[in-house]
Amino acid sequence: MGTITKREHRLADGRELFYFDDADTTLSPERAPDLRTLTPRPETATMRQDPLTGEWISIATARQNRVVLPPTELDPLAPQSPGNPSEIPSDYDVAVFENRSPSFGPLLTDEDAPHSLADLSEIGIGRVRTSIGRCEVVCFSPEHTGAFGSISASRARTVIEAWADRTAALSAIDGIQQVFPFENRGEAIGVTLGHPHGQIYAYPYITPRTQRLLASVEAYGSRLFGDILDFERAGERMLIAGTRWSAYVPFAARWPLEVHLMPHRQVPDFAHTTDDERAELATLYLRLLRGVDALYDTPTPYIAAWHQAPVNLHRDDVRLHLQLTSPRRAADKLKFLAGSEAAMGAWVGDIPPETQAAALREAIARADEENPV
């Protein structure tokens, strides 16, 4: 078997496009140019501060124009064809490109950009900053339908390599404070494209969820993630225990279906994982996702959020980890956030985490038997 190969290209409007070829690819190294005539990219959005919370909200009006559930023959993430002037000129294994209508970017510098984290933490009324940053689309496969769980182990390893490569590259951009790879799956989550894909956001600030995490680390100490993992690995909510990674339902799960996946050693982000860690993750993560889908007769909607340490803070004590959540609380029921949860952030769990863990273990076992990785 060969090695995963990265190939750099440009789209017609100047956006970067990266092909990541599988180690066992059958594709030619040649890639066609993008010959489309495209209108200019939209202006970079503007962030506004909520003075009641200090949070920054990016007002990205261009996202109103994005494609919503197009027919298969007009799939914008499929390889280009005579009848489909899509975003990717050639056939591919994995492709990553800059989002045409991003929430952050395309500007990376601007006179109204955030000056520093201290600047962002100040509270004022009517404060605005330019939404510098970057948003990228990660296509897991050229197929029109599916999700991460439907790809091969070799392809999963390629996607993980792409996450690591892009995390390193985006973290090196001046002004980027956090890099976030994620996958939204299913119309119940609000997905607008059925093509198997995820995204990567490079933020000009540290996200609110991560700010709360940093406060917990500072209150508890640098052993927080290690102690959590030891606690979960010794308990009844464990799902999969690998050599280098473990998956479990967390003790205080918010969602009806919530799973965390964490490396056994301190790793701040994908860029710092080893080849052995990436190889094990490729198979373990597929087992987990296929088990999640085996819970019911139809695919499970979810958000797979890969939390990474901020670019410049707590690199030695914030650990890379997955938080996979689904609003599905039964075969035909979804959880909708009630007033207490949506307005106050005061969550109420519908299913005991131990009950959900037992159901997930059975589903993973069925998936392992029916569709082994």
Which residues are known catalytic residues? 197
Q: Give the whole-angstrom CA distance, residue 165 versus residue 178.
A: 15
- Look up tokens 């080893």; give the residue: 274
51 cis-preceded (ω within 30 degrees of 0): no
**Axis crossing angle, helix 275-293 with helix 153-171, rounded to the nearest 10:** 120
Extract the tokens encoding 108: 């990376």
Select from 44, 58, 46 the least CA-distant residue to 101.
44
Q: Give the whole-angstrom CA distance, residue 54 versus residue 143.
A: 42
Q: Give the whole-angstrom CA distance, residue 257 versus residue 329.
A: 7
In the DSSP assignment, the letter for residue 192 is: S
Phi-psi region of 345 (alpha: psi -120 to 50; beta: other; left: phi over 0): left
- Look up tokens 């707590």; give the residue: 314
CB atoms within 10 A of CB 53: 10
Q: Give the whole-angstrom CA distance, residue 131 versus residue 76.
A: 25
Question: Which residues lie closer than 8 Å to 349 by C-beta, 6 or more apart?
Answer: 253, 254, 256
In the DSSP assignment, the letter for residue 151 is: S
Cα distances (angstroms) measured from residue 140 to each of 82, 153, 159, 160, 170: 22, 12, 6, 10, 19
**Structural contact between residues 94 and 77, judged by C-beta atoms closer than 8 angstroms:** no
Q: Give the whole-angstrom CA distance, residue 91 versus residue 106.
A: 26
**Rg of the chain, C-alpha, whole Å:** 21
